[in-house]
């Protein structure tokens, strides 16, 4: 069953087609890999899914409803969370506060609640904190809870970003190159984490250049080039797909026998 | 030792020569066309002697010859800091409160007047803190809301005879509405553009106050604003109430103190709530905040409106104290002063801002004896403070949240 679906998405910046007629779906319970050379439009897909860009044509369906044209924060509160290719933490806030921000859409108390510090407001704050700590623990960065985000080691910053996205208990998690800049042992750790996230019943869309990670953890892979989907299938199928090989390695000059 | 500090020596020498070059045209060229050197050299040698002594001390300190003296001082201050940390916060809070309460009794009329000013500016500064410090929006027209609050009370009181306690919330409300009116179309902008727009708004408000003769009486201002009246029980022939006008400055002080304390509490509570976190997230990375579920437009508007409300309340109190309002009090310079207090004190710490306000209000009063050099010394102090403490007098401290848990 399709959980989050892109239907014939076209994104045009002036005369440039960033995506054209692109369709694919993230099914319930799967880890979908999204690969493609640099500039293929992977991050544009993320921006369309999260509401940052409004596609020129096409539709985005989430849980049977169109989320096209909805504000990013509305889409997030419906359950589509993401991380960023270049880490975008709230750098002067602590790790715990970063994660607590994501709980914003799951809480309701306003100015009056904050001013009067009512019991229900205190209870809500405690709930927010508990959920945030849970997410930090899940991603193994609980020891940094009181550390200012910019002082965290690089790998932990990546993990914190995932923790922040997870705190609100999303239904779909979009990971934009989470293994970028990680060493082999860190990225194999990350693969385990992605599998654990999937076990929690969260669908994952993974954009990644590290093929070991993509092939190791994804159930299905979509390959895009120049904003067009060129292949879709299981990791084995993708690995043997001549179009994918061509996109990554270029056209063979001559065939060898 | 001198070798080590060769670079500093060189810099020092250049600075002193530069100063001499700067001083001579100022002191040595006279309006009647004559030139003199004596006065310049005199003034310069005084400055040279003073700075040279400071410089020697600096070098001795750097090379560690003062450690016998500085080390114990640092140690004891650290120990004192630990003791203060260990003390429950209500002890020093109540000590401060008692100090604030007995202050007007101990001092005279003039110091009380200065402190009332400080208290009003604390409300203004903390209002601006919500906008600049938390949400990270540069606001150069904050004083406009102060003006809106003050004029709301003045007009309602003088023209319609409505009392302070009815006007006070209304002043907050009108300031809030003004904030929303400006904020709604402009808060889509970011950074420098927003600063320009807010600057424009501040000027628009001042010009309206200056030119809308029928309502605001223009540059002449509004005279005869009544002060705060409270009902006081009287025990003559049974229990009756009479209106008591708060005319004495000492009494008025307590109202300003109450408002300042309420503002401090309110802003602290907002700071450490989900609203405060949302605003800080917007300051750190607006796009990421929006993508993490924060309705950035709504919260930016809310921050602007909240800042305006605090300024509006302070404005009403200001009108009640002065018994007179005029557009003169709400100029761009005042906005800049409030902003300087926030920046100087430490952009994102409430105690820092309070200290910043105290510094910027009290210092010019202290320097009053220097007469025409007052603003010069004041500016110099500001530059020095920003050089040595770029993140403000009291830098922001993150609240440790884990200690309360586990």
In degrees and rounded to multiples of 5, residue B190 shows phi and psi of -125, 160
Q: With an 8 Å Cβ cutoff, is B296 touching chain A?
A: yes
Cα separations in angstroms, A247 against A39, A44, A226, A228, A244: 12, 19, 10, 12, 5
- In B, minimum Cα distance to A84 occurs at B288
Query: What's the rounded Cα separation, in Å, for the pair B195 and A13?
Result: 30
| Residue B240 CB partners (closer than 8 Å, separation 6+) | B233, B234
pLDDT at B406 (0 to 100): 38
Is there a single domain that holds both residue B222 and residue B327?
Answer: yes
Instruction: Say whether both B140 and B277 belong to one domain.
Output: yes
Dist. CA B246–CA B115, nearest whole Å? 17
* B264–chain A Cβ distance below 8 A for any pair: no
- Please list every residue in chain A whose beta carbon sits closer than 8 Å to the beta carbon of residue B291: 50, 52, 72-73, 76, 82
Higher pLDDT, B398 or A174: A174
Bridge partners (DSSP) listed for residue B242? B232
Per the CB < 8 Å rule, is A90 touching B275? no
Picking from B35, B66, B82, the residue at the C-terminal end of a domain is B82
Q: Give the separation between CA B385 and CA B393, rounded to whole angstroms.
A: 8
Judged by CB atoms closer than 8 Å, whether chains meet at B292 and A94 is answered as: no
Tokens of A52: 């940052």
A-B contacts at Cβ under 8 angstroms: 110
B301 in contact with A, Cβ within 8 Å: no
Q: Cα(A123)–Cα(B106) distance, rounded to whole angstroms?
A: 44
- A207 burial (CB, 10 Å; 0-12 / 13-18 / 19+) is buried
User: Do B256 and B354 have their domain in common?
Assistant: yes
Per the document, the length of chain B is 406
Q: What tokens does B358 get?
A: 């105290």
How far apart, in whole angstroms, are the C-alpha atoms of residue A93 and residue A103? 15
Question: For position B384, which CATH number holds?
Answer: 1.10.3470
Q: Which of these, B91, B227, B80, B78, lies nearest to B164 by C-alpha position? A: B227
Beta-carbon contacts of residue B184 (< 8 Å; ≥ 6 apart): B301
Per-residue pLDDT, B2: 57
Average pLDDT over residues A23-48: 90
Q: Based on the domain organization, do B196 and B326 belong to the same domain?
A: yes
Domain endpoint, select from B39, B60, B82? B82
Q: Is A44 on the interface with B (CB under 8 A)?
A: no
**Are A190 and A178 in contact, with CB atoms under 8 Å apart?**
yes
- Find the farthest-apart pair of alpha carbons in chain A and give their distance in angstroms, rounded: 80
Domain end (from B62, B82, B102) = B82
From CA A88, how far away is CA A158, in angstroms rounded?
9
pLDDT in the model for residue B1: 54
For residue B104, being part of any structural domain is answered with no
CA A82/CA A69 separation, integer angstroms: 18
Q: Is the pLDDT of residue A255 over 60?
A: no
Interface test with B, best of A49, A73, A94 (most B CBs within 10 A): A73
Cα radius of gyration rounded to whole Å, chain A: 19
The arithmetic mean of pLDDT across residues A214-235, rounded, is 91
* Sheet strand arrangement including A80-82: A80-82, A172-176, A203-207, A31-35, A220-225, A228-233
Cα separation, B142 vs B146, in Å, equals 7
B233 with B284, same domain?
yes
Establish if B99 belongs to a structural domain.
no
CB contact under 8 A, B281 and A103: no
With respect to residue B108, please indicate whether it lies within any of the assigned structural domains.
Answer: no
Facing A90 at nearest CB: one of B285, B306, B405: B285
Minimum distance, in Å, between the CA of residue B285 and any CA atom of chain A: 6
Tell me the chain B residues in contact with residue A72 when contact means C-beta distances shorter than 8 Å.
290-291
Q: Could you tell me if B58 and B124 lie in one domain? A: no
The count of structural domains within chain B is: 2
Mutual angle of helices B38-62 and B6-23, in 10-degree steps: 160
Q: Are residues B193 and B319 in the same domain?
A: yes
Q: CB of B274 within 8 Å of any CB in chain A?
A: yes
Per-residue confidence (pLDDT) for residue A252, from 0 to 100? 67
Contact yes or no for B275 and A114 at CB 8 A: yes
- Report the alpha-carbon distance of residue B161 to residue B221 in Å, rounded: 17
For residue A124, the chain B residue with the least C-alpha distance is: B274
Q: In what order do the strands lie in the sheet with A2-13?
A: A16-27, A2-13, A57-62, A65-66
Do the chains contact at B402 and A73, CB–CB below 8 Å? no
In a domain, B96, yes or no: no
Residues of B in contact with A91 (CB under 8 A): 284-285
Q: Find, in chain A, the residue whose alpha carbon is nearest to that of B268.
A: A115
Report which of A151, A147, A150 is spatially closest to residue A91, judged by C-alpha positions.
Answer: A150
Residues B288 and B366 in one domain: yes
**B122 and B23 in a common domain:** no
Of B289, B400, B401, the CB nearest to A101: B289
Whether the CB of B281 is below 8 Å from some CB of chain A: the reply is yes
- The residue behind tokens 């309070």 is B354
User: Over the Cα atoms of chain B, what is R_g?
Assistant: 25
Say if CB B115 and CB B103 are below 8 A apart: yes
Q: What pLDDT does B318 receive?
A: 94
| Cross-chain CB nearest to B278 (options A84, A104, A115) | A104
Q: Are B278 and B91 in contact, with CB atoms under 8 Å apart?
A: no
What digits encode the pLDDT tens for the residues A38-76?
A: 888 888 999 999 999 999 999 999 998 999 989 999 999
Q: Are residues B251 and B341 in the same domain?
A: yes
Tokens of B76: 């004891």
Question: Residue B271: which of A115, A34, A123 has the closest Cα?
Answer: A115
- Cα B353 to Cα B344: distance, rounded to the nearest angstrom: 8
Name the helix (H) or strand (E) containing B184: helix B164-186
As to burial, measured by CB atoms within 10 angstroms (0-12 exposed, 13-18 middle, 19+ buried), residue A251 is exposed
Determine the distance in angstroms separating the CA of A73 from the nearest CA of chain B, rounded to an integer: 4
Q: Which residues pair with B35 in a beta bridge?
A: B29
Test mutation, A46, A91, A115, A141, chain B, max B CBs within 10 A: A115
Least confident residue range of A99-103, A123-127, B192-196, B205-209: B192-196
Any long-range contacts for B156-165 (C-beta under 8 Å, 24+ apart)?
Answer: B157/B225, B157/B226, B157/B319, B158/B222, B158/B223, B158/B224, B158/B225, B163/B226, B163/B229, B164/B226, B164/B227, B164/B228, B164/B229, B164/B316, B164/B320, B165/B228, B165/B229
Contacts of A60 (CB under 8 A, 6+ apart): A4, A5, A6, A7, A9, A48, A49, A66, A67, A68
CB spacing of A113 vs B281 below 8 angstroms: no
Provide the residue range defining the domain that includes B31.
2-82
* CA-based nearest residue to B124, from B356, B323, B308: B308
Query: For A80-98, what is each residue's pLDDT tens digit?
Result: 999 998 999 999 999 999 9
**Cβ within 8 Å of residue A110, ≥6 positions away:** B275
Q: Do B280 and A117 touch (CB under 8 A)?
A: no
Residues of chain B contacting residue A102, judged by C-beta atoms under 8 Å apart: 292-293
Nearest CA in chain A to B286: A90
Closest residue by Cα to residue B297 from A74, A91, A166, A124: A74
Task: Tell whether B94 is covered by a domain.
Answer: no
Residues of B in contact with A110 (CB under 8 A): 275
Q: Which pLDDT band, with edges at 50, 70 and 90, does A100 fall under? A: very high
Q: Determine phi and psi for B273, rounding to 5 degrees.
A: -130, 180
- Enter the tokens of residue B47: 């400055």
Closest listed residue to residue B336, CA positions, set B179, B193, B139: B139
**Is residue B87 in some structural domain?**
no
Of A10-24, A237-251, B138-152, give the range with the top mean pLDDT: B138-152
- The answer to whether the CB of B62 falls within 8 A of the CB of B5 is yes
Tell me the C-alpha distance between A242 and A257, whole Å. Answer: 17
Option in B273, B275, B292 nearest A76 (CB): B292
pLDDT of chain B, 406 residues: tens digit per residue: 556 677 778 888 888 888 888 888 877 788 887 888 888 888 888 888 888 888 888 877 777 777 777 777 888 888 887 777 777 778 888 888 898 888 888 888 899 999 999 999 999 999 999 999 999 899 999 999 999 999 999 999 999 988 899 999 999 999 999 999 888 888 888 778 888 989 998 999 999 999 999 988 889 999 988 888 887 777 777 777 777 887 788 888 999 999 999 999 999 999 989 999 999 999 999 999 999 999 999 999 999 999 999 999 999 999 999 999 999 999 998 998 899 888 888 877 888 899 889 988 888 888 777 767 777 777 887 788 778 877 777 777 777 776 544 3
The predicted structure's pLDDT at residue B226:
87
- Asked if residue B101 is part of any domain, the answer here is no
> Is B270's CB within 8 Å of A114's CB?
yes
Residues on chain A touching B404 (C-beta within 8 angstroms): none
Same-domain check for residues B220 and B363: yes
Q: What's this model's pTM, rounded to 2 decimal places?
A: 0.85
The C-alpha atoms of residue A148 and residue A124 are separated, in whole angstroms, by 23
- Asked if the interface predicted TM-score (ipTM) of this complex is over 0.95, the answer is no
Inter-chain residue contact B284 with A100, CB threshold 8 Å: no
**Alpha-carbon distance B297 to nearest alpha carbon in chain A (angstroms):** 10
Three-state DSSP class for residue B148: helix
The neighbour count for residue B102, using CB atoms within 10 Å, is 10
**Residue B20 within any structural domain of the chain:** yes
Report how far residue A164's alpha carbon sits from residue A143's, in angstroms, rounded to the nearest whole number.
15
| Contact call for residues A177 and A85 (beta carbons, < 8 A) | yes
Nearest residue of A to residue B266 by CA position?
A115
Query: Do B330 and B196 reside in the same domain of the chain?
Result: yes
Site from B262, B274, B282 to mutate, A interface, most A CB atoms within 10 angstroms: B274
Give the pLDDT confidence score for residue B152 in this predicted structure.
95
């Amino acid at each position: 069953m399709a959980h989050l679906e892109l239907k014939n998405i076209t994104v045009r910046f002036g005369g440039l087609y960033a995506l054209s007629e692109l369709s694919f779906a993230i099914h319930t319970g799967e880890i979908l890999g999204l690969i493609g050379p640099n500039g293929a439009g992977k991050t544009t897909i993320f921006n369309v899914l999260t509401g940052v860009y409004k596609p020129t044509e096409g539709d985005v369906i989430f849980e049977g409803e169109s989320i096209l044209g909805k504000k990013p924060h509305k889409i997030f509160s419906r359950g589509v969370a993401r991380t960023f290719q270049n880490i975008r933490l709230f750098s002067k806030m602590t790790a715990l506060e970063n994660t607590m921000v994501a709980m914003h859409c799951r809480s309701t108390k306003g100015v009056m609640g904050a001013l009067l510090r009512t019991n229900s407001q205190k209870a809500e704050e405690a709930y927010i904190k508990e959920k945030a700590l849970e997410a930090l623990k899940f991603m193994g960065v609980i020891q940094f809870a009181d550390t200012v985000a910019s002082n965290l080691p690089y790998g932990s910053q990546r993990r914190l970003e995932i923790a922040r996205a997870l705190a609100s208990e999303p239904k779909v998690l979009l990971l934009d190159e989470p293994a970028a800049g990680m060493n082999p042992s860190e990225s194999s750790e990350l693969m385990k984490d992605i599998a654990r996230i999937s076990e929690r019943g969260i669908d994952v869309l993974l954009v990644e250049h590290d093929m070991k990670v993509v092939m190791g953890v994804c159930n299905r892979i979509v390959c895009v080039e120049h904003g067009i989907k060129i292949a879709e299938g299981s990791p084995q199928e993708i690995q043997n797909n001549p179009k994918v090989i061509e996109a990554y390695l270029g056209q063979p000059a001559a065939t060898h026998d | 030792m001198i070798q080590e500090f060769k670079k500093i020596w060189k810099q020092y020498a250049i600075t002193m020569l530069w100063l001499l070059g700067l001083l001579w045209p100022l002191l040595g060229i006279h309006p009647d066309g004559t030139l003199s050197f004596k006065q310049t050299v005199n003034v310069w040698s005084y400055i040279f002697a003073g700075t040279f002594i400071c410089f020697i001390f600096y070098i001795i300190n750097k090379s560690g010859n003062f450690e016998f003296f500085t080390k114990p001082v640092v140690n004891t201050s650290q120990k004192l800091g630990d003791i203060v940390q260990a003390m429950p916060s209500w002890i020093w809070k109540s000590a401060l409160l008692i100090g604030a309460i007995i202050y007007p009794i101990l001092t005279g009329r003039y110091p009380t007047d200065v402190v009332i000013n400080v208290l009003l500016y604390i409300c203004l500064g903390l209002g601006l803190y919500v906008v600049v410090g938390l949400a990270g929006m540069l606001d150069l027209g904050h004083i406009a809301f102060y003006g809106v609050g003050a004029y709301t009370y003045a007009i309602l009181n003088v023209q319609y005879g409505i009392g302070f306690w009815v006007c006070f919330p209304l002043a907050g409300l009108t300031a809030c509405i003004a904030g929303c009116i400006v904020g709604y179309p402009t808060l889509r902008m970011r950074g420098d553009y927003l600063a320009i727009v807010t600057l424009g708004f501040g000027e628009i408000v001042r010009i309206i106050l200056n030119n809308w003769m029928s309502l605001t009486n223009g540059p002449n201002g509004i005279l005869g604003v009544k002060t705060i009246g409270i009902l006081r029980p009287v025990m003559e022939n049974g229990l009756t109430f009479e209106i008591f006008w708060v005319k004495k400055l000492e009494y008025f002080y307590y109202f300003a103190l109450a408002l300042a304390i309420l503002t401090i509490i309110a802003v602290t509570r907002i700071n450490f709530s989900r609203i405060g976190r949302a605003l800080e997230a917007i300051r750190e990375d607006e796009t990421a905040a929006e993508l993490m579920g924060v309705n950035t437009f709504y919260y930016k508007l809310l921050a602007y409106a909240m800042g305006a409300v605090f300024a509006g309340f302070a404005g009403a109190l200001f009108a009640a104290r002065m018994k007179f309002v005029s557009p003169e009090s709400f100029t761009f310079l005042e906005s800049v002063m409030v902003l300087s207090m926030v920046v100087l004190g430490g952009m994102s710490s409430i105690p820092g801002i309070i200290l910043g306000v105290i510094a910027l209000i009290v210092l010019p009063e202290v320097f009053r004896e220097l007469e025409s050099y007052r603003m010069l010394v004041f500016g110099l102090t500001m530059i020095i403070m920003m050089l040595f403490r770029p993140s403000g007098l009291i830098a922001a401290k993150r609240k440790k949240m884990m200690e309360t848990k586990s």
